[in-house]
Homo-oligomer: A and B are copies of this chain.
Amino acid sequence: MEQLPFRQVLETAEKIRTMEVRGAGHIARAAAGALRDYALVLETKSLDEFNFEMKRAAEILLNTRPTAVSLSNATWMVMRYKADDLEDARKSIVSNANRFIEDSQRAVEIIGEIGSHRINDGDMVLTHCNSMAAISVISAAFRTGKDIQVIATESRPRNQGILTIGLLEELGVPTTFIVDSAVRSFMNDVDLVVVGADVVTANGSVVNKIGTAQIALIAHEARTSFMVAAETYKFSPKTILGEPVIIEERSPEEILPNVSRYKNIRVRNPAFDVTPYQYIDLICTEVGAISPVMSYLIIKEKLGWELGK
């Protein structure tokens, strides 16, 4: 039977695998925390053994959702250490993990602060789905007294727009709710689109909730600014090596409950789409607001990856 400390790693892994823990940020911080807690109590005879054990734990966590970029980034950043002795290693891991957790928790707030400068008094802002980073930008602008309005989309098939208008209702932001098909009808009155991101690739494309790419196209057609709000742990180092981002397909029943009755009909339900960088004016991260094509620099300077390494 596994020792207690290791059992906690396994439990965290299980929670991530079963999606009891979900959402890019929660997953990342749970993994970082699990590694930190394991490092704190792990007793080994040598540094080598310590390193070996920690790697084993990291891999178990990574394998729960191998395509989740936040999980991979969290693990990578906690496990970046060079140590001369065991205690040194332990301290590095703990310190890495704590820094990652704190940084990622503060990121949404800083993104709100930086991004809010782009919203002017009197602006109409459109958002899609339910992104904490995007809402943080809106609420930061609203809190400073700017007279703004929001348009929120329904965001089929899971209707996360309902969550978004719930939050905006509480904040008191005047908001209009529309179906996804009505975006172009309202775009000429919109000054800025702000959305979140699930993954940002090395060449600046953004993977986000299905529908984001066509909203970006519609904004581009109308010369409306399009901003992505994304914590740096959403940036995917592996895309440098050409590794494609897998677009998950969800259950057909989300769209067509009785799909099995049909012989000739099948349902396609991709959860995300890819917005090309040409339609994105700015990606707002907690380390600054950058052109999307600068994404490699975030990967290099913040996550520590490099071309050809």
Determine if A242 and B297 form an interchain contact, defined as CB atoms under 8 angstroms apart.
no
A277 CB within 8 Å of chain B? yes
Determine if A273 and B182 form an interchain contact, defined as CB atoms under 8 angstroms apart.
yes
Instruction: Classify chain A's interface size.
Output: 35 or more
Determine if A289 and B175 form an interchain contact, defined as CB atoms under 8 angstroms apart.
no
Find the B residue at minimum CB distance from A287.
B308
A218 contact set on B, CB distance < 8 A: 214, 217
A262 contact set on B, CB distance < 8 A: 165, 169
A282 contact set on B, CB distance < 8 A: 203
Chain A residues within CB distance 8 Å of chain B? 113-118, 154-157, 162, 165, 168-169, 172-188, 191, 202-204, 209-211, 213-214, 217-218, 221-224, 239-244, 247, 255-256, 259, 262-270, 273, 276-278, 281-282, 284-291, 293-298, 301-302, 306-308
Provide a sorted-by-A list of 28 A–B residue pairs whose CB atoms are within 8 angstroms: A113-B242, A116-B242, A117-B244, A154-B255, A157-B179, A162-B256, A168-B264, A176-B267, A178-B268, A179-B180, A180-B181, A182-B210, A182-B211, A182-B269, A185-B210, A185-B213, A186-B268, A188-B223, A202-B290, A203-B290, A203-B294, A221-B223, A239-B289, A290-B296, A293-B293, A294-B296, A297-B297, A298-B307
